[in-house]
Structure 1
Amino acid sequence: MKPNYKDGELMMEGVKLSTVASVIGTPVYCYSRGSIEAAYRGYENAFVPLANTLICYAVKANTNQAVIGTLAALGAGADVVSEGELRRALKAGVQASKIVYSGVAKKHGEMEFALKAGIYQFNVESEPELLALSKVADRLGLTASIALRVNPDVDAKTHDKIATGKSENKFGIPWRRVRAVYRLAGSLPGIRVQGIAMHIGSQLLSLEPYRAAYGRLAEMIDALVSDGVQLDSIDIGGGLGIRYEDDQPVPPEPAELAAMAHECLGHFGGRLIIEPGRSLLGAAGVLLSEVIYVKSGESRDFIIVDAAMNDLIRPAMYDAYHGVTPLQAPSGPARNYDIVGPVCESGDTFAKARAMSEVKAGDRVAFMDTGAYGAVMAGTYNSRLLVPEVMIAGAHFGIIRPRGTYEDLIGLDSSWDEVPSVKEVREA
């Protein structure tokens, strides 16, 4: 998201972000409801030519109920990877018949919950998972509709930690084994073979990896059809990136992705499933923070802010770039700063040698493009309170997750003398 200043104030829709920072305090995440809705409609309009398309929001990008509910109200389904995400999606209003359950380590209890909820599809990622799902479904007297997630061994040309389609990645069934595993699936009780699935990674800035993956997927579908396998759905995953830096390539538009999907896979018919996450939420969010100190070191200057790696871990985990801009329009000459947080780790660094106009203690800044994989990955390291979240719609804003209290945080655990031993519990 490009900074939007009006009368010297950084805005989100019709709200001054300085007002949010003053009322709620910092650090705090803010999301533009209008931006989320516009991004979803972009996908919806792009995939109109592929008439039977289900857009499943990848809930892992941002699990807040207000976010999921906003998308559910527009007709979105959900791509979930845990029972917790499934419960969130259902509570937020996503229809069970629009939910796809992915993930490499589904436990029996999670499978049972999803089966009883009546979800649309399990994306099965291994033969052991397929056998386990058959056993659970058969015991319950229910049928699990499945797609096998294929690992096509395609390099998505993205960060190693978010690549999912190469042979060394933990995700999916090796493409050379797919026909055999479909034969196995067709022989198992409690299993209905429904589709095929693929997802090669996140933050893709080129269509070429998709072309390679869709081409391999088309070959596999041809082979399966010749084996007599009927496929009612094709899940092409998500992964479209956003532009975090000005010198990054401009990411493909949803319409370009839809055109490629239509070119490579449109002739197969059936339902097409697409699972966007970052491209719906990333640019819709910012993290607001206050400058606590400006410190001059031996060889560099530091901006020390009250946000930390526990609030936004992407820079520490992925060396990820996020633009940083003051809430009041910058003026004066730029200087190079390292922008760091208060956590006792050298890795608690958001940027190094970042050029910014001069700031002082008490100034506030916004970390840009943090709507996806920001608050959802936040924690309480150093016993810091979990960061709150705010939704902005037009000229209004509201808290969609409050800041916790120290009483709540410390109350999650107990001192040893307050806890009965396991032996005492069993005897009771």
Structure 2
Amino acid sequence: MTDLADSPAVRRLADWDHGRLEGLADEYDTPLYVMDLDRVKENYTRFAAAFPDAEVMYAAKAHTGKAVLEAVLEAGADIECAAWGELQRSIDAGADPNTLQYTAVNPPDHDLDYAADLAEEAPGLTITIGATDTLDRLAERGYDGRIAIRINPGIGTGHHEKVATGADAKFGIPYERVPEVADRVREEFELVGLHAHAGSGVLTEGLEEHCRAIERVGEMARRVGDDELEFVDVGGGYGVPYREDEEPLDLERTAEMVREAAGELEATLKLEPGRYVVADAGLILSEVNTIKEAPDATVVGVDASLATLIRPAMFGSYHPMLNVSAPDRDSHPVTVGGPVCTSADVFAHDRPVARPERGDILAIGNAGSYGYELASQFHSQPRPAEVALENGQSRVVRRRESLEDVTRVEQ
């Protein structure tokens, strides 16, 4: 078990060893993803300790790298997967397929084929459905095993409208239809749980709305008979502070509010943190290559781009930034952008950063969740390497792609 005595609730960029980060950039080149696996284990252990009577899974979609999956398994987590590839990668990392939970969202035929075949060998696999069509398609494949019903609670929460899944018709069975769907599942399959996920990036000030969704899940569980369910899964969505002036999630208060919102349950409460476990365990190192004085801004060009980290372009997300080469220089407001030919390829506008010079290394923080997962090869840019830190050592866990990797699938 990870010792939490010296593990702060959030790791800021200032807490990293800047000299070591410069050394990693020099040794492994840039742009470079860095993942601290010790921090991953600390974060999972801290979260699980706040919910001692619950089952805490890891939501794989936040970061499916093998080293990260191995780390959360070592910390004692089971894994929740949103696609067949995540199921396979979890198994490759050492997960028992009988412990996996597959949350199917409009699953392609290949995904359902894979899940149904896997369940023949691993009957403990749980498939979470969000549409009755999925039940029909599973029945066509001869599946009659473990099913959880995903509820649409009608309440969405989180840092951006694109992640407020709890109010999006794409996700889950409409609330009032859940009892009839539960009756059908009991007749044709094995109903083991209810599931909901309200949104993502929830901090303490957003907990009340988040818990309103959890209240509805608890109410529905009692309505359909929670004494006949194994679990009630209230999903993840628990956030970390991206901005320097934001406070970390108050886990003690969070646990108290979640338990109160769920109410009395015979079934086991289940949670699925993803971002909370990996976000502040990862960062990107990028080298400054251009300094341009424009009429309205000082533009700093770096070798990372929206192909490396798309969250600022996709969600308008704020990521902290630090000049690890010279953190003590006077700060200067700069616009930091990459080499992709679009105005969306900007990490920060007028951001105070210790005055960058060509050749400096900038660190972009909180890149451990939905960072490498959303990386692309836009502009024929090979994806970066990823280095893991663990027990004082560093190692490459994902090599840097070459142009041959980019073009390998072409015919």
Normalising by structure 1, report the TM-score.
0.88
Shift of 1:229: 7.9
Aligned partner letter, 2:135? L
Q: State which drifts further: 299-308 or 270-279.
A: 270-279
Unaligned runs of 5+ in 2: 1-10
User: Is the 2:194–2:233 contact (alpha carbons within 8 Å) kept by the matching residues of 1?
Assistant: yes
Structure-2 separation of matches of 1:283 and 1:407: 32
1:158 to 1:392, Cα distance in 2 relative to 1, 3 A: same
Q: Structure 1 residue 2 and structure 2 residue 7: aligned?
A: no
User: Is the 1:103–1:123 contact (alpha carbons within 8 Å) kept by the matching residues of 2?
Assistant: yes
Instruction: Name the counterpart of 2:352.
Output: 355
User: Is the 1:72–1:94 contact (alpha carbons within 8 Å) kept by the matching residues of 2?
Assistant: yes
Instruction: Name the counterpart of 2:366.
Output: 369
Structure-2 separation of matches of 1:127 and 1:114: 17
Shift of 1:249: 4.6
Shift of 1:305: 0.2
Shift of 1:102: 0.8
Instruction: Name the counterpart of 2:388.
Output: 391
Aligned partner letter, 1:365? L
Shift of 1:157: 4.8
Q: How does 1:174-323 map to 2 (within 5 A)?
A: 174-188=174-188, 191-205=189-203, 206-225=206-225, 230-253=228-251, 255-265=252-262, 267-323=264-320
Instruction: Name the counterpart of 1:34.
Output: 38
User: What secondary structure sits across from 2:228 in the alignment?
Assistant: coil
Structure-2 separation of matches of 1:200 and 1:318: 17
Aligned partner letter, 2:33? Y
Shift of 1:286: 0.6
Instruction: Name the counterpart of 1:18.
Output: 22
> CA deviation digits over 1:224-272, x for unaligned, max 9?
12xx98212111100001000023353232x433323333336312332
User: What secondary structure sits across from 2:104 in the alignment?
Assistant: coil
Aligned partner letter, 1:354? R
Shift of 1:363: 0.6
User: Is the 1:326–1:365 contact (alpha carbons within 8 Å) kept by the matching residues of 2?
Assistant: yes
Shift of 1:3: 2.6
User: Is the 1:125–1:173 contact (alpha carbons within 8 Å) kept by the matching residues of 2?
Assistant: yes
Structure-2 separation of matches of 1:250 and 1:23: 33
Aligned partner letter, 1:187? E
Instruction: Name the counterpart of 1:420.
Output: none
User: Is the 1:281–1:371 contact (alpha carbons within 8 Å) kept by the matching residues of 2?
Assistant: yes
Structure-1 separation of matches of 2:97 and 2:156: 33
User: What secondary structure sits across from 2:185 in the alignment?
Assistant: helix
User: Is the 2:84–2:115 contact (alpha carbons within 8 Å) kept by the matching residues of 1?
Assistant: yes
Q: Structure 1 residue 44 and structure 2 residue 56: aligned?
A: no
User: Is the 2:12–2:244 contact (alpha carbons within 8 Å) kept by the matching residues of 1?
Assistant: no
Moved over 6 A (4+): none
**Identity fraction in percent:** 30
Aligned length: 395
Aligned partner letter, 1:65? K
> CA deviation digits over 1:377-397, x for unaligned, max 9?
101100001111110113210
1:288 to 1:103, Cα distance in 2 relative to 1, 3 A: same
Aligned partner letter, 2:402? T
User: Is the 1:10–1:329 contact (alpha carbons within 8 Å) kept by the matching residues of 2?
Assistant: no
Instruction: Name the counterpart of 1:122.
Output: 127
Instruction: Name the counterpart of 1:419.
Output: none
Structure-2 separation of matches of 1:170 and 1:229: 29
Question: In terms of Rg, which structure is larger?
Answer: 1
Shift of 1:329: 4.1
